[in-house]
Amino acid sequence: MSDLVISIDQGTTGTTVLILDQKLNVLAKKNKEFPQYYPKPGWVEHDLEEIWDCTLKTLREAIKSAAIDPKRIAAIGITNQRETTGIWDRKTGKPIHKAIVWQDRRTGDLCNRLNKKSGLATKIRRKTGLVIDAYFSGTKIKWLLDQVPGARKRAKAGALAFGTIDTFLVWRLSGGAAHVTDVSNASRTLLMDLKTLSWDKELLKIFDVPKEVLPKIATNSEIYAVTKNIPGLPDGIPIAGMAGDQQAALFGQACFDAGSAKCTYGTGSFILMNTGPKIVYSKNKMITTVGWKIGKKTTYALEGAAFIAGAAVQWLRDGLNVIDSAPEIEALAAKVNDSDGVTFVPALVGLGTPHWRPEARGIIHGITRATTRAHIARATLEGIAFFQYDIIKAMEKDLGKKLKVLKVDGGASSNNILMQFQADLLRTKLVRPKMVETTALGSAFLAGLAVGVWKNTDDIKKAWVKDREFNPKMKPIEVKSHITRWAEAVKCA
């Protein structure tokens, strides 16, 4: 009986493989890291061959750990770091260059030139929901085709294949049989029209990308290909679910209704709000993106990002030596009832959504002789929550309704002080799931839906299990005071 699902979560620093059953019991979880390359300031690269080797090893270890008959595997789902860009030879499968990672800023000057062209930024925002920025894949593709000798000519001749990491993994898992991406990853390239969900000729011309290099755009839950010649796996296992990491987390949190939202507290934080079948163009500096497409039904989302979340705690640990390990911050912060007016704006790499102030820098505001390590720790957790408050309030304005529940996940969501303060600021219930690997869970759900492990989203809702709720406790007048001091501190950042 084929009743298990493998989820490959290919992230920025490593690959995680989960093996799950229908009731979300985790039969195995394995993770392996791979190298990062920084050839120049602002440049970040990955070696696609190292990612593939890491994926194979992690798969092999997970299957061994689960001690299962591989024939029980019903499907494989993939979720991935989204905008990271690779190009490889269609015949040999070999990359023409290291992949350019989503964090990479080498195409910043090109983006600045494009942004200066009259009306272009507005046109691209209407077509794609995105801003012209080096973060996205379009300018990365152009850079590779222009800088690798002969690449552009080979691309136009159909000899090369572009892909984000989802595309690359399907290519390799299928023995080169499928060159495909899904709508959520395609929506991060600056090349796909949000309405038609297809590659746009005008956008391809603007970003100088030949259509011959692009993959087919598919839905998030269908059989794209089957495994072929993968060590430890039988041939013929369906590769049946794909989604970019943040969209996968939204799906993994069972945020299926318009207005539902999740926040992933990682190194940075990402908030996605389901807007249903409606494309909502933000008036408050949010990104509009595809959530997922299943069958003929497309779900859209608003997205906001804070560049620093858990990284602020890491800075306290590594930069200031205030704590020895990240989990210690909760116990230290619990030694005081509040931050005693100290406000930390953790703009350590600028301010993201909805401020978009890359020049901003972090500050600790309101220090007195009475300030202790515990107050700094408390202010750090509060600073992370304040960032999310700004994003959620901007999303609520765009959607025209108040958020009723925020589902939370990611490493920092285990911090109860942070979660309670977040609930207090938002005046909204927070729900933390029992299964915190929501990114991997989302891709597993999508793959399982395609092959019948789960019949529909109602089945998934039944499988999803809550760990804990955090309900607002703070008085409105106290909340208002906190927001006022935060707003004053942000102006100084």
Residues 259 and 466 sit within 8 Å (Cβ to Cβ): no
Average pLDDT over every residue of 124-138:
91
Average pLDDT over every residue of 259-282:
90
What domains are there in the chain, each with its CATH number?
4-236 (3.30.420.40), 254-493 (3.30.420.40)
- Tokens of residue 146, six digits: 């222009």
pTM comes to 0.88
CA 187 to each of CA 75, 129, 292, 363, 448: distance values in angstroms, whole numbers, following the listed order: 24, 8, 10, 35, 23
- From the list 298, 278, 165, 274, the residue with the least C-alpha distance to 219 is 298
d(CA 177, CA 442): 25
pLDDT band at 328 (very low <50, low <70, confident <90, very high): very high
pLDDT at 61 over 80: yes
d(CA 403, CA 419): 16
- Tokens of residue 463, six digits: 């499988």
- From the list 425, 452, 411, 327, the residue with the least C-alpha distance to 377 is 327
d(CA 156, CA 288): 30
Q: What is the chain's alpha carbon radius of gyration, rounded to the nearest angstrom?
A: 22
d(CA 182, CA 226): 16
d(CA 459, CA 7): 18
pLDDT at 1 over 70: no
User: Rounded mean pLDDT of the chain?
Assistant: 92
Q: Name the phi and psi angles at 352, rounded to 5.
A: -90, -140
Name the burial class of residue 117, with classes exposed (0-12), middle (13-18) and buried (19+) by CB atoms within 10 angstroms of its CB.
Answer: exposed
The secondary structure element, H or E, covering residue 53 is: helix 48-66
Residues 116 and 275 sit within 8 Å (Cβ to Cβ): no
d(CA 25, CA 329): 30
Q: Is the peptide bond before 354 cis (omega within 30 degrees of 0)?
A: yes
What digits encode the pLDDT tens for the residues 143-192? 999 999 999 999 999 999 999 999 999 999 999 999 999 999 999 999 99
pLDDT at 67 over 70: yes
What digits encode the pLDDT tens for the residues 426-460? 999 999 998 888 999 999 999 999 999 998 888 88
Q: Which residue has the tokens 């061994």?
A: 64
d(CA 81, CA 95): 18
Distance of CA 132 to the CA centre of its chain: 18
